[in-house]
Amino acid sequence: MKSLFTIALACLMLFSVSDVEAQRRGKRTKKVEIPLEGTVFHIRNAKSGKFLDVSGTANSKKARSNGTNVQLWDLDGGADQKFKFVPAGNGYYHIQTQHARMNLDVHGCFEGKWFCGTYKKDKGANVQVWSAGRSEPQQWKLEKGTAPGRFYLKNRYSGRYLDANNSDVQKNGCNVLQWNKDDNTNKQWELVDVKTGQKFTM
């Protein structure tokens, strides 16, 4: 009788230990959901694997000036490659640089202004940084891309999409502009948490 009791007790303890170990393994493998708001991201081009970057070094006058170009570059750890998504209303966000309080913005004139070489609604209008404001050319919306963890970024004012120049997309310094939406991966982006390296999904 004693031996049966001992065997039963041993089995119960074994099951308990196995259950705790299984729970522990589950906690280790479970991914933590990344919030869009409040997280600092690197923005990686889905085609080339290069990252959104403000031209010039993070502490330079150039990188902190209105109208400075946005490009692709290898990851270098600079604050000019780090961005936050700041709510702008109706599902749109300001994409704000972390080296200075500046937003991604579309270059050019607003409609109705005469004698302007480029308008903010033009296909191919350049993307730049500008002092943080509330204007629609500084607002962007995430739309799901063609694979999990990939996104299109749609400009509120123009209705066009953040795009890396396809002919140079594998090169450092590849220009970033706006274009019409299609399935090409040079127009799709991955948001990578700076702290964990995990991609944002929704």
* DSSP code string of 94-129: EEEESSSSEEEEE-SBPTT-SS-S-BTTSTT-BEEE
Task: Convert the pLDDT of each residue in 179-202 to its tens digit.
Answer: 999 999 999 999 999 999 999 999
Q: How confident is the model at residue 32 (pLDDT cuts 50, 70, 90)?
A: confident
pTM value? 0.85
Residue 19 pLDDT more than 60? no
Predicted local confidence at residue 121, as pLDDT: 98
Predicted local confidence at residue 112, as pLDDT: 86
Task: Convert the pLDDT of each residue in 43-92 to its tens digit.
Answer: 999 999 999 999 999 989 999 999 999 999 999 999 999 999 999 999 99
Give the architecture (CATH level 2) of 41-193: Trefoil (2.80)
Task: Convert the pLDDT of each residue in 126-160 to its tens digit.
Answer: 999 999 999 999 999 999 999 999 999 999 999 99
And the tokens for 28?
């280790």
Cα–Cα separations (whole angstroms), residue 201 to 36, 143, 196 = 9, 11, 14
